[in-house]
Amino acid sequence: MVFKSIIVALVLSLPAWSTSVPTPDFSLPPPSLCPQTPSNLHLTTDTFLPNPFKFADGLPVNTRAAWSCRRDEIGKLFQELELGTLPPKPEIVKGTLVGETLVVDVTHAGNSISFNASITLPVNGTGPFPAVIGVGGISIPIPNNVATIVFDNDQIAQQNDATSRGLGDFYNLYGSNATASSMTAWTWAISRIIDVLETKPESKIDLSRLGVTGCSRNGKGALVAGAFEERILLTIPQESGSGGEGCWRISDAMFADGIVTQTASEIVMENVWFSLNFANYANNVTLLPFDHHMLAGMVAPRGLFVIDNTAYVWLGPESNFGCMKTANKVWQALGVPDLMGFSGVGNHTHCVFPDAQEDTLNAFFDKFFFGKNTNTSIIYTDGADDLGFVEADWVNWNVPRLL
Ligand SMILES: *[C@@H]1O[C@H](CO)[C@@H](O)[C@H](O)[C@H]1NC(C)=O
Ligand SMILES: *[C@@H]1O[C@H](CO)[C@@H](O)[C@H](O)[C@H]1NC(C)=O
Ligand SMILES: *[C@@H]1O[C@H](CO)[C@@H](O)[C@H](O)[C@H]1NC(C)=O
Ligand SMILES: *[C@@H]1O[C@H](CO)[C@@H](O)[C@H](O)[C@H]1NC(C)=O
Ligand SMILES: *[C@@H]1O[C@H](CO)[C@@H](O)[C@H](O)[C@H]1NC(C)=O
Ligand SMILES: *[C@@H]1O[C@H](CO)[C@@H](O)[C@H](O)[C@H]1NC(C)=O
């Protein structure tokens, strides 16, 4: 009797989501004793998707701890060649909760900016609640027991066209010459929102269960945020296309085949999502020591569900499928392939989420936010078979098992 009530009390004191299967380990060991990235990196032509499991200096990645180093190195290379520098946490980050508005105040080198994020809590329940952060907005269905946090990314870094370079609150703080691209600036803003939430338990947000999403250009941003900010557990880029879920090399190959898809050459002329330096590589992407399978791989072993729309060739469906199928190899190496999934479904308008993907989306929410043992094993496209992606044309390396 006594024992039974102790057990009941124990069970009752646990949050509901912990009553099922053991939670997978979503963390990596901190990087230590990492090999040095050659400073005068000699960029070599690689027509294949570069090997995520080989350091820039040529050493193999063969343990989980080494992957941690490699993830760090990949992040540095992306900042240097494609995304610009992501500044660390500034000297002063504070904020206030005004109703459901989180006001974020940041000071750096004597400059200050303030921006808002709107929190919407579930109607029922007392929390703390898991939450999805929306880059500019949210266009996927969010379960009614999950909170949302939306901020105006255009205010942080504008993205009207190529003349938006250096405009927005981020550049008011760091100077218009900061190398950070708009997507890097949005990632920085998301990190500051989380910094402030860490000081505000009364917000009722459970910071161990955070997601990020965005669609199209903001989907590219959501992927970058999930790649760099390890406090995000589940990343859900929607219809992000080239510059997000697509690989530059495969998009170029599609374009060469006469398929009018977005490429690096086009994107650097169109907008400021990437750094100025990236323009030096955009016309010759085989020089890059990475591609976007490795940007996605930075999310591992945390959750990633990539939502694609095969109805738009401009988004590069073959590139997206092939790139993300290849990205999944990082999760395979870490022994958790089903923590990353891809689903490409067409026949619907851009950024209008189709019912056909809702069960899979909910399987990801249930697994990452509510600890349920759902089936998230999915690398699916409704396009003709694999949309023409031939792995042997793109992958010339093996997947190690990283322990
Ligand atoms: C941010 O929210 C505060 C509090 O509601 C409000 O006073 C302020 O005008 C908002 N700022 C912006 C830029 O929306
Ligand atoms: C909230 O709880 C009430 C009472 O149980 C219920 O009628 C309502 O459907 C719930 N709303 C949501 C959004 O779950
Ligand atoms: C920013 O760059 C421009 C053009 O290169 C230069 O003229 C200007 O002095 C720079 N400003 C700062 C604050 O570094
Ligand atoms: C890309 O760079 C490689 C290596 O420098 C060079 O061989 C190739 O001609 C370049 N291609 C273009 C299109 O510039
Ligand atoms: C696409 O949607 C339209 C309208 O809902 C429907 O009539 C058509 O059968 C759909 N096509 C496919 C291939 O699903
Ligand atoms: C998980 O779902 C996929 C299709 O989405 C299916 O192929 C696979 O068999 C399922 N796995 C299990 C264990 O049910």
For 86-98, the pLDDT digits (tens) are: 999 999 999 999 9
Which CATH architecture group holds 89-238?
A: 3-Layer(aba) Sandwich (3.40)
Task: Determine which residue's CA is closest to atom 9 belonging to ligand 1.
Answer: 116
Q: What is the pLDDT of residue 18?
A: 44
CA of 258 to the centre of ligand 5 (A): 26
CA of 80 to the centre of ligand 4 (A): 20
pLDDT of residue 383: 83
The Å distance, Cα 178 to ligand 1 centre, comes to 26
Fold match between domain 45-83+239-403 and domain 89-238 = yes
Question: Which atom of ligand 6 lies closest to the CA of 378?
Answer: 5
Cβ contacts of residue 363 below 8 Å, gap of 6+?
Answer: 374, 375, 376
Nearest ligand, CA of residue 347?
5
Contact 86, 228 (CB under 8 A): yes
Q: Which residue minimizes the CA distance to atom 8 of ligand 3? A: 177
Q: Measure the CA–CA gap between 55 and 89, rounded to whole angstroms.
A: 27
Residue of 167, 177, 179 to mutate, ligand 3, most atoms within 8 A of C-beta: 177
Q: Cβ contacts of residue 301 below 8 Å, gap of 6+?
A: 24, 25, 26, 27, 28, 331, 334, 336, 339
Q: Which atom of ligand 6 is nearest to the CA of 377?
A: 1
From the centroid of its chain, how far is CA 329?
16
Ligand 3 midpoint to CA 178 (Å)? 10
- Looking at the CA of 345, which ligand is closest? 5
Pocket test for ligand 2, best of 120, 123, 146 (most atoms within 8 A of CB): 123
Contact 62, 402 (CB under 8 A): yes
Tokens of 23: 């939670």
Q: Which of 131, 128, 106 is nearest to 192 (CA)?
A: 106
Would the CB of 27 count as within 6 Å of ligand 6?
Answer: no
Residue whose tokens read 């510059």? 243
Q: Which residues pair with 376 in a beta bridge?
A: none
Architecture of the structural domain at 45-83+239-403? 3-Layer(aba) Sandwich (3.40)
Omega of the bond leading into 289 within 30 degrees of 0 (cis) = no
User: Residue 125: what pLDDT?
Assistant: 96
Domain ranges, ordered by start, for the chain:
45-83+239-403, 89-238
145 Cα nearest atom in ligand 2: 14
Quick count: other Cβ atoms within 10 Å of Cβ 286? 16
Strand partners, 118: 101, 150
φ, ψ for residue 75, nearest 5 deg:
-60, -40
How far is Cα of residue 231 from the mean position of the Cα atoms in its chain? 11
- Which DSSP symbol is given to 384? S
| Residue position matching structure tokens 């898809």 | 261
Residue (of 380, 237, 371, 370) closest to 315 by Cα position: 237
pLDDT tens readout for residues 51-104: 999 999 999 999 999 999 999 999 999 999 999 999 999 999 999 999 999 999
The helices-and-strands tally (H runs, E runs) of the chain is 11, 10
Q: Whose CA is nearest to atom 6 of ligand 3?
A: 177
Provide the token pair at 272. Answer: 């400021």
Query: How distant, in Å, are the alpha carbons of 161, 172, 366 from that of 157?
Result: 12, 10, 33
Atom nearest to 177 CA in ligand 3: 1
**What burial letters (b/e) apply to 140-160, b meaning 16+ CB within 10 Å?**
bebeebbbbbbbbbbebbbbe
Residue 42 has a pLDDT of: 63
pTM of the model: 0.92
Q: Which residues are catalytic?
A: 216, 350
Q: Calculate how far, in angstroms, residue 349's C-alpha sits from the geometric centre of ligand 6.
A: 27
Our answer on whether the CB atom of 175 is closer than 6 Å to any ligand 3 atom is yes
Q: How far is the CA of 265 from the centre of ligand 4 (A)?
A: 14
Mean pLDDT in runs of 10 for the chain (403 residues)? 40 44 79 86 84 96 96 97 98 96 97 98 97 98 98 98 98 98 98 98 97 98 98 98 98 95 98 98 96 98 97 95 98 97 96 97 98 96 80 97 95
**DSSP assignment of 13-76:** HS-GGGSSSPPP----PPP-SPPPPPTT-------SPP-TTB-TTS-B--SHHHHHHHHHHHHH
| Ligand with smallest separation from the Cα of 373 | 6
Taking each helix axis from N to C end, the angle separating 217-228 and 182-197, rounded to the nearest 10 degrees, works out to: 60
Residue 386 is predicted with a pLDDT of: 62
Task: For residue 280, give the ligand nearest its CA.
Answer: 4
Q: How many CA atoms lie within 13 A of 337 on its CB side?
A: 13
